């Protein structure tokens, strides 16, 4: 993983964050929050972990529904934005700026979720440490949700070396390279707005569905369901998105 190592430490700032803000709208946030509540099978007042939380859009939505939210993210810009948004809505949310493996010791949650295709940024050891940290933070029987488009079954059947998108006056160019020896996707992002250009390298481990299940199993978490969207259609080969539901063993 030497190429683009620790890329996440410097990626999430500037135009890149403005692009993500433009892409996600309120109806999508509400749909995802509805899905999270159904699949975590928790009631209002439950303690939930949003990791990594980004700008806190899901934590904020769930907090308005009465859940006790904790959000953790490495981006200082995102966490500052989340704090300000929570304060402006008079919402009590706990925010932590830290790397995703650094869940505060002694935490005990009724559920956790990793949304926004933020799973598998680290190397194999790091990803295992992240899942183990989440597992330790959950109460027995609590659930953990993963949202990813980087499983082998989703990514490889329709792999595209180059793509581009435009949202909110920002153009994003994507150059992808899949390294089969590492099972890893390397991506160079170029963001362009008003003649200004910012480049960001990134990479993500491409696990198969069964490999993710094994990773979770070693952390004491058992896969109980898999969907391709918030409408809970079954996940299958070629589905562009995996929404995986795992439960901590009692």
Task: Tell me the per-residue pLDDT of 73-92, one tens digit each, with 9 for 90 and over.
Answer: 999 989 999 999 999 999 99
Which residues make beta-bridge pairs with 153? Answer: none
Paired sense of beta strands 242-248 and 138-148, if any: antiparallel
User: Tell me, what's the pLDDT at 4?
Assistant: 63
**pTM of the predicted model, to two decimals?**
0.94
Query: Domain 8-149+207-248: which topology?
Result: Rossmann fold (3.40.50)
What are the domain boundaries of the chain? Answer: 8-149+207-248, 155-202
Q: Strand order of the sheet with strand 162-167?
A: 162-167, 170-179, 184-193, 196-205
What does the pLDDT look like over 137-171, one tens digit per residue?
Answer: 999 999 999 999 999 999 999 999 999 999 889 99
**Rounded alpha-carbon distances, angstroms, from residue 186 to 129, 177, 182, 189, 221:** 21, 5, 10, 10, 28
Give yes or no for residue 45 having a pLDDT over 90: yes
Q: What is the Cα–Cα distance from 81 to 226, expressed in whole angstroms?
A: 32
Q: What is the Cα–Cα distance from 244 to 226, expressed in whole angstroms?
A: 5
What does the pLDDT look like over 15-27, one tens digit per residue?
Answer: 988 898 888 889 9
Residue 147 exposure: Cα atoms within 13 Å on the Cβ side: 20
Mean confidence (pLDDT) of the chain:
94
What does the pLDDT look like over 218-228, one tens digit per residue?
Answer: 999 999 999 99
């Amino acid at each position: 993983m030497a190429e683009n190592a620790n890329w996440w430490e410097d990626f999430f700032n500037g135009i890149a964050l403005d692009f993500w803000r433009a892409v996600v709208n309120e109806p999508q946030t509400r749909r995802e929050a509805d899905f999270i509540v159904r699949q975590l099978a928790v009631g209002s007042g439950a303690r939930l972990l949003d990791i990594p939380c980004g700008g806190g859009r899901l934590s904020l939505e769930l907090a308005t529904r009465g859940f006790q939210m904790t959000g953790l993210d490495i981006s200082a810009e995102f966490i500052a934005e989340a704090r300000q948004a929570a304060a402006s809505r008079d919402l009590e949310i706990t925010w932590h700026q830290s790397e995703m493996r650094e869940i505060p010791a002694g935490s005990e949650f009724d559920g956790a979720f990793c949304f926004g295709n933020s799973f598998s940024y680290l190397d194999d050891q790091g990803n295992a440490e992240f899942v183990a940290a989440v597992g330790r933070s959950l109460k027995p029987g609590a659930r953990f949700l993963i949202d990813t488009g980087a499983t082998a079954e989703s990514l490889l059947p329709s792999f595209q070396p180059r793509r581009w998108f435009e949202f909110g006056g920002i153009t994003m160019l994507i150059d992808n390279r899949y390294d089969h020896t590492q099972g890893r996707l390397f991506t160079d992002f170029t963001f362009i707005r008003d003649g200004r250009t910012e480049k960001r390298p990134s990479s993500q481990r491409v696990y198969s569905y069964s490999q993710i299940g094994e990773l979770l199993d070693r952390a004491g978490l058992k896969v109980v369901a898999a969907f391709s969207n918030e409408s809970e259609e079954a996940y299958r080969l070629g589905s562009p998105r995996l929404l995986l539901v795992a439960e901590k063993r009692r």
